[in-house]
């Protein structure tokens, strides 16, 4: 490290100590972002670093970079949708094997589509995938070990012709049943893998399907393996009647036990996932993903149409529709599938009391450059009203700007699993120098279009419920939580009241108070009222230098107390809303410098500073039990 850099680091340390009244010399060593490759050299987490760069696209996080070292392979064989198997009439023209795409109807080169991971290169439509090809897509070569392949054939209702139908399906597909289960490795990490194949009686759920899934999940619990299940199904198997229905309860109960054992259960919904499977094991994932364009629903679209006598809207029951409605975490493209699985495996390997499991040799060292330093010197301290105005500026750096400099990679998770995905709150999992962290961040938007989309960072009840869902999941898997707060308040409107805005906020306060993992809350801009507090019940609460936090806006305060909202400036001075005031009142523990104002120029510096401080926070809470952490948080708020 050069002397100049040494000086910069020293400068920062002093600046920081001035704000917080403490001074800790910075440790030696520099940033070693280059050595960020995963343990097996796959660089999986680094590849995801671009996840935040891709703008406001809702699916961006699930579409990180291409998966490492994975070649499209396998014999040219498509499954279902009359693709390749039966309807395709091969016309051998100059060795090009043409097949008809079931999505766009065009004749496409089969080999080329296979290389494209069974995606039509004309319309980007996804073909259904056979078991063996799916295994090739996600498992390390030759690591898949099938389980329970010789379950006896049963005909519980003695249904006429059922045995023959099963024999026919077995003959046609070469499979013993509609689901294949077993164990395999993903970039060296062992998982239990289950895959449904639509060619086998539309992957309907009979006794054997339910039994294989249940037995495999029980075995995964014994062997302490995370479970990944590729779902597709036409629903119940009619020939098995009520016994088929019982499989829904049976598989769900096994998943409950797996969860109680603290193991991860993930589902990937593929085209089509409907009926009893949707209403049981498909929708119970800790993480639920789907392939683009997949049909997912409980009742089939034709049945719904007949029942209500109406046309269904465009895109109804697609994966995209489900993400928008908050039902699934995200949509994952095939080229990112294996890498996403690996990300999820690594993100769920935290252990209690170990919250600072950083990649060795990745000591982070914050450094300040000359331009920022100069800007810092020029800047005059702001008064309360100036701060109020500063944090409302649309150019003010957002949580996503800082996150880019704090986390190696970040994958967003959508939805409250019941109503809608609220874009005002971004949630997901990030890696902080190798340590997985659940991140919650209010996000206002960067331009008019995004601001409208994100409702100017004013969350709806479903936004708070999404945050809570992700925080509870963090607790289940011993993952620490970092929450960035930047909202003028919870959304005020008819829909918000209809869906219980008050209840949603109250529920978060109650649940957050008892979380058994470290929770760090950072106010980066506006902190308005209960809407801000709803994601700010932390073991520690920090604020950026110019951030504000108040019971309501100065305008609101002035109009209630003095019946004159134009006296907002005056109100801001007496409300004690600045970071410096709040530190005196012990509402916050730490103030983070802004180096002259939080904008695109200083985001990197502030992010670097935050990263160093967050790492320190995680270090301090390591070694504490879940109970101790929750008790400390209880005492923190008990004091007020």
Smallest gap from Cβ 118 to Zn ion, in A, equals 11
The residues pairing with 426 across neighbouring beta strands, listed in sequence order, are 441
By the 10 Å C-beta count (0-12 exposed, 13-18 middle, 19+ buried), 302 is classed as exposed
Q: Which stretch binds Zn ion (CB under 5 A): 96-104, 243-251, 588-596, 601-609?
A: 96-104
User: Measured from the CB of residue 125, what is the shortest distance to Zn ion in angstroms?
Assistant: 4
Minimum CB distance to Zn ion smaller for 107 or for 243: 107
Find the binding residues for Zn ion in span 475-494 (CB under 5 A). none
Question: Is residue 125 at the binding interface for Zn ion, with CB under 5 A as the rule?
Answer: yes
- One of 40, 122, 379, 386 touching Zn ion (CB under 5 A): 122
The yes or no reply on residue 85 touching Zn ion (CB under 5 A) is no
Q: State which residue, 54 or 124, has the beta carbon closest to Zn ion.
A: 124
Kindly give, in sequence order, each residue whose CB lies less than 8 Å from that of residue 630, ignoring residues fewer than 6 positions away.
513, 514, 515, 516
- The secondary structure of 393-445, three-state, reads CCCCCCHHHHHHHHCCEEEECCCCCCCCCCCCEEEEEEEECCEEEEEEEECCC
Kindly tell me which of 4 and 104 has the beta carbon lying closer to Zn ion.
104
Report in angstroms the alpha-carbon separations of 74 from 77, 127, 134, 135, 171.
8, 15, 10, 10, 21
Q: Which residues pair with 265 in a beta bridge?
A: 227
Q: Show the tokens assigned to 353.
A: 């009391």
Q: State in angstroms the smallest separation of the CB of 101 from Zn ion.
A: 3
Q: Is residue 112 a contact point for Zn ion (CB under 5 A)?
A: no
Query: Considering beta carbons, is residue 101 or 400 the nearer one to Zn ion?
Result: 101
Task: For 542, list phi and psi in degrees, rounded to 5.
Answer: -115, 160
Question: Residue 120, interface with Zn ion (CB under 5 A)?
Answer: yes
Among 8, 9, 52, 103, binds Zn ion (CB under 5 A): 103
Helix spans in 21-155 (H): 44-47, 110-115, 131-138
Q: Which stretch binds Zn ion (CB under 5 A): 99-107, 282-290, 307-315, 575-583?
A: 99-107
Residues of this chain, 328-357, that bind Zn ion according to CB under 5 A: none
- Taking the least distance from each CB to Zn ion, the nearer of 104 and 261 is 104
Options 4-12, 94-102, 476-484, 611-619: segment touching Zn ion (CB under 5 A): 94-102
Shorter beta-carbon distance to Zn ion: residue 89 or 222: 89
Residue 197: burial class (beta carbons within 10 Å; 0-12, 13-18, 19+):
buried
Which H or E run contains 485? strand 481-487
Separation of CA 247 from chain center: 29
Q: At what angle do helices 241-260 and 207-223 cross, to 10 degrees?
A: 10
Q: Tell me how far, at minimum, the Cβ of 105 lies from Zn ion, in Å.
A: 7
- Output 104 or 560, the one with its CB closest to Zn ion: 104
CB closer to Zn ion, 64 vs 120: 120
- SS3 of 183, please? strand
Tell me whether residue 120 or residue 186 sits nearer to Zn ion (CB atom): 120
Q: State the minimum distance, in angstroms, from the CB of residue 65 to Zn ion.
A: 25
Q: Is 128 in the site for Zn ion (CB under 5 A)?
A: no
Q: Which is nearer to Zn ion, 118 or 484 (CB)?
A: 118
Considering only 104, 249, 253, 510, the residue that binds Zn ion (CB under 5 A) is: 104
CB nearer to Zn ion: give 122 or 453: 122
Of 60-68, 101-109, 406-414, 585-593, which segment contacts Zn ion by CB under 5 A? Answer: 101-109
Name the strand (E) or helix (H) holding 591.
strand 590-592
Binding of Zn ion by 114 (CB under 5 A): no
Exactly one of 9, 88, 101, 201 binds Zn ion (CB under 5 A); which one? 101
Q: Where are the beta strands (DSSP E) in 148-276?
A: 179-186, 189-196, 227-233, 265-273
Q: Which stretch binds Zn ion (CB under 5 A): 119-127, 276-284, 338-346, 409-417?
A: 119-127
Near Zn ion in 185-204, by CB under 5 A: none
Interface positions, 355-374, toward Zn ion (CB under 5 A)? none
Q: Which stretch binds Zn ion (CB under 5 A): 104-112, 210-218, 546-554, 566-574?
A: 104-112
Question: Can you tell me which residue has the tokens 């809702």?
Answer: 58
Neighbours of 71 (CB within 10 A): 8
d(CA 170, CA 174): 5
Closest contact distance (angstroms) between CB of 333 and Zn ion is: 16
The size of the interface with Zn ion (CB under 5 A), counted in residues, is 7
Residue 123 is a binding residue for Zn ion (CB under 5 A): yes
* 517-554: burial string, b at 16+ Cβ within 10 Å, e else: bbbbbbbbbbbbbbbbbbbbbbbbbbbbbbbbbbebbb
How buried is residue 128: exposed, middle or buried, by Cβ count under 10 Å (0-12/13-18/19+)? buried
CB of 123 to Zn ion, least distance (A): 3
Q: Which of 110, 105, 106 is nearest to 84 (CA)?
A: 110
Nearer to Zn ion, 122 or 386 (CB): 122
Q: How far is the CB of 99 from Zn ion (least distance, A)?
A: 10
Closer to Zn ion at the Cβ: 113 or 322?
113
CB atoms within 10 A of CB 612: 19
Q: Which range, of 46-54, 98-106, 282-290, 511-519, touches Zn ion by CB under 5 A? A: 98-106
From the list 59, 522, 5, the residue with the least C-alpha distance to 332 is: 59
Q: How far is the CB of 96 from Zn ion (least distance, A)?
A: 16
Task: Report, in Å, the least distance between residue 78 CB and Zn ion.
Answer: 12
In the bound state with Zn ion, the residue whose beta carbon lies nearer, of 34 and 89, is 89
Residue ranges in contact with Zn ion by CB under 5 A? 101, 103-104, 120, 122-123, 125
């Amino acid at each position: 490290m050069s002397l100049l850099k040494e000086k910069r680091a020293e400068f920062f340390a002093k600046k920081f100590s001035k704000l917080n009244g403490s001074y800790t010399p910075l440790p030696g060593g520099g940033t070693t972002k280059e050595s960020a490759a995963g343990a097996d050299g796959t660089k999986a987490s680094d590849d995801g670093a671009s996840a935040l760069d891709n703008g406001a696209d809702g699916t961006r996080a699930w579409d990180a970079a291409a998966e490492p070292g994975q070649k499209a392979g396998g014999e040219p064989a498509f499954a279902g949708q009359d693709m390749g198997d039966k309807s395709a009439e091969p016309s051998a023209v100059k060795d090009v094997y043409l097949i008809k795409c079931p999505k766009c109807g065009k004749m496409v080169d089969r080999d080329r589509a296979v290389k494209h991971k069974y995606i039509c290169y004309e319309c980007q439509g996804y073909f259904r995938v056979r078991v063996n090809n799916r295994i090739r897509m996600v498992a390390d070569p030759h690591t898949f070990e099938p389980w329970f392949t010789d379950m006896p054939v049963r005909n519980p209702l003695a249904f006429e012709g059922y045995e023959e139908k099963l024999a026919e399906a077995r003959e046609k597909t070469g499979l013993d049943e509609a689901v294949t289960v077993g164990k395999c490795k993903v970039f060296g990490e062992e998982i239990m893998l289950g895959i449904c194949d639509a060619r086998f009686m539309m992957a309907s759920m009979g006794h054997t399907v339910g039994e294989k899934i249940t037995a495999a999940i029980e075995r995964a619990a014994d062997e302490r393996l995370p479970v990944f299940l590729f779902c597709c199904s036409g629903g119940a198997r009619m020939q098995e009647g009520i016994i088929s229905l019982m499989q829904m309860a049976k598989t769900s109960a096994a998943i409950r036990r797996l969860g109680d054992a603290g193991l991860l259960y993930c589902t990937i919904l593929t085209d089509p996932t409907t009926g009893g499977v949707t209403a049981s094991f498909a929708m119970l994932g800790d993480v639920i993903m789907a392939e683009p364009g997949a049909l997912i629903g409980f009742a089939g679209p034709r049945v719904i149409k007949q029942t209500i006598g109406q046309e269904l809207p465009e895109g109804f029951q697609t994966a995209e529709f489900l993400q928008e409605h908050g039902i699934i975490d995200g949509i994952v493209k095939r080229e990112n599938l294996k890498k996403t699985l690996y990300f999820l495996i690594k993100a769920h390997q935290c252990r209690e009391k170990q919250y600072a499991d950083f990649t060795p040799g990745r000591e982070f060292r914050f450094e300040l450059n000359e331009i920022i330093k100069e800007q810092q010197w020029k800047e005059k301290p702001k008064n309360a009203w100036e701060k109020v105005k500063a944090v409302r500026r649309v150019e003010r750096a957002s949580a996503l700007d800082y996150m880019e400099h704090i986390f190696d990679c970040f994958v967003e998770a959508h939805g409250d699993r019941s109503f809608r995905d609220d874009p005002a709150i971004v949630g997901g999992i990030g890696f902080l120098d190798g340590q997985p962290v659940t991140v919650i961040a209010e996000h206002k938007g960067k331009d008019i279009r995004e601001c409208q989309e994100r409702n100017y960072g004013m969350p709806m009840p479903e936004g708070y419920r999404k945050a809570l869902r992700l925080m509870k999941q963090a607790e289940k898997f011993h993952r620490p939580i970092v929450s960035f707060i930047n909202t003028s308040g919870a959304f005020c409107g008819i829909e918000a009241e209809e869906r219980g805005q008050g209840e949603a906020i109250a529920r978060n306060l109650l649940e957050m108070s008892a979380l058994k993992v470290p929770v760090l809350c950072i106010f980066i801009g506006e902190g308005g009222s209960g809407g801000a507090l709803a994601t700010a019940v932390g073991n520690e609460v920090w604020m950026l230098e110019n951030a504000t936090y108040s019971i309501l806006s100065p305008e609101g305060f002035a109009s209630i107390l003095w019946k004159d909202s134009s006296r907002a400036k005056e109100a801001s001075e007496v409300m004690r809303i600045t970071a410096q005031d709040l530190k005196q009142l012990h509402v916050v523990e730490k103030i983070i410098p802004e180096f002259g104002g939080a904008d695109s120029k200083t985001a990197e510096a502030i992010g670097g500073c935050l990263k160093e401080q967050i790492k320190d926070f995680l270090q301090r809470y390591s070694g504490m039990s879940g109970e101790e952490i929750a008790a400390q948080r209880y005492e923190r708020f008990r004091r007020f």
